[in-house]
């Protein structure tokens, strides 16, 4: 693969509209991105989504590997496929678990969700949320978390991601290293969390540690400042947090997605700065959910940076290999 082809594999693009337009298909055929992500703006009804994903796969299939076709289908207030079964927010599962201590029902619900997703061509679900709802004033997590108890989150998130996997949908746990103790929304500004390192280990890291131990194949980062982990850079861009903590200490070897790089939490950085720093930190794939017309320029800029840096080139090769392995292992029948 050329550097341009390798760089393209790191991107998961958002796009506009219900159809695979001719310009979009041309771009997919030329660059072969790693994947795409669907939002409400792309979704009208089941037949339309099924047709859309099939057209996109035909246009963007690269080297025999299908596109990652992602979506945020958590349940509750984060559910893009609104005409499917109406799934409750994760907190409901946590409450039922605390009363009954059983988890089979969680895996069964996740299997049904995955079956619905797979039948319209979606193979990657950005769920479950592994955050602990430790701050009741948190404006972005709340009932998206399984519980305010870290151990309940760990116990309930694992069967959820196993249920997705059992039906051929790749799960993605989020938002590392934990968005639950924030006071602000990273879509709008950069949250700062000041809990101690010891508190991170006792609370926020518990579900991630267990999900990694149980083999979750992908995770997503959080655009937050963790004052006592790295006071200088958002977690997504922090080598201390991504490489040292997640990769080395927790032993995560799967594919790591950034949250959307257009979120205002990263407004201090240009997109190319964010991508380079994210790669150097240990991320593998970029969610770029807006401004589709900038994709060509972004890939060109990143390719130029990679050409100049042997260390960055090695990081790209490592990430491309992880993404290829993920697709080979979980999308082999698609």
pLDDT in tens, 257-278: 999 998 888 999 999 999 999 9
**Residue 139 pLDDT level (bands cut at 50, 70, 90):** confident
- Answer whether 112's CB lies under 8 Å from 74's CB: no
How far apart are the C-alpha atoms of 137 and 141, rounded to whole Å? 9
Q: Which of 143, 149, 259, 260 is flagged as catalytic?
A: 259
Provide the residue ranges of all domains of the chain, joining segments of one domain with +: 39-292
What secondary structure letter does DSSP report for 129? B
How much is the pLDDT for 23?
Answer: 87
**Of the CATH numbers 3.30.1130.10, 1.10.579.10, 3.40.50.300, 3.20.20.300, which one belongs to the domain with range 39-292?**
3.20.20.300
For tokens 């959910």, the residue is 289
Q: What is the average pLDDT across 135-151?
A: 90
Of 56-70, 85-99, 197-211, 229-243, least confident by mean pLDDT is 56-70
259 has catalytic annotation: yes
51 has catalytic annotation: no
Structure tokens at 296: 């060509």
pTM: 0.96
Give the chain's mean pLDDT.
92
Q: Which of 187, 243, 244, 260 is flagged as catalytic?
A: 187
pLDDT, tens only, 272-318: 999 999 999 999 999 998 876 677 788 889 999 999 999 999 999 99
How far apart are the C-alpha atoms of 267 and 189, rounded to whole Å? 8
137 vs 146, residue with greater confidence: 146
Integer CA distances (angstroms), 96 to 91, 101, 142, 154, in order: 9, 8, 17, 14
Strand 35-38: give its sheet, edge to edge.
Answer: 255-257, 218-221, 170-176, 124-125, 68-71, 35-38, 11-13, 286-288
**Residue 62 pLDDT level (bands cut at 50, 70, 90):** low
How far apart are the C-alpha atoms of 312 and 287, rounded to whole Å? 19
**Residue 63 pLDDT level (bands cut at 50, 70, 90):** low
pLDDT, tens only, 199-222: 999 999 999 999 999 999 999 999
């Amino acid at each position: 693969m050329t550097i341009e082809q390798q760089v393209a594999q790191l991107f998961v693009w958002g796009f506009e509209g219900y159809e695979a337009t001719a310009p979009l298909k041309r771009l997919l055929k030329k660059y072969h991105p790693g994947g795409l992500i669907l939002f409400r703006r792309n979704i009208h009804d089941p037949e339309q989504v099924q047709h859309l994903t099939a057209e996109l796969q035909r246009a963007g299939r690269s080297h025999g590997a299908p596109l990652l076709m992602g979506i945020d289908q958590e349940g509750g207030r984060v559910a893009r496929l609104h005409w499917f079964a109406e799934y409750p927010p994760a907190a409901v599962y946590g409450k039922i678990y605390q009363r009954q201590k059983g988890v089979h029902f969680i895996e069964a619900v996740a299997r049904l969700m995955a079956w619905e997703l797979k039948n319209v061509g979606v193979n990657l679900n950005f769920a479950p949320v592994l955050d602990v709802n430790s701050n009741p004033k948190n404006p972005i997590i709340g009932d998206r978390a399984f519980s305010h108890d870290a151990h309940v989150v760990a116990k309930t998130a694992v069967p959820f991601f196993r249920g997705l996997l059992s039906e051929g949908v790749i799960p993605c746990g989020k938002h590392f290293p934990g968005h639950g103790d924030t006071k602000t929304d990273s879509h709008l500004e950069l949250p700062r969390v000041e809990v101690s390192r010891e508190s991170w280990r006792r609370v926020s890291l518990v579900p991630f540690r267990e999900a990694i131990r149980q083999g979750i194949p992908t995770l997503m980062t959080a655009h937050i400042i963790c004052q006592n982990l790295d006071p200088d850079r958002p977690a997504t861009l922090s080598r201390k947090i991504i490489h040292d903590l997640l990769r080395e200490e927790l032993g995560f070897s799967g594919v790591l997605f950034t949250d959307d790089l257009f979120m205002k939490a990263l407004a201090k950085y240009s997109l190319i700065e964010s991508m380079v720093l994210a790669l150097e930190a240990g991320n593998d794939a970029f969610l770029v959910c807006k401004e589709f017309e900038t994709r060509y320029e972004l890939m060109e800029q990143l390719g130029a940076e990679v050409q100049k840096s042997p260390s960055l080139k090695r990081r790209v090769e490592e990430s491309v290999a992880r993404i290829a392995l993920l697709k080979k292992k979980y999308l082999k029948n698609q």
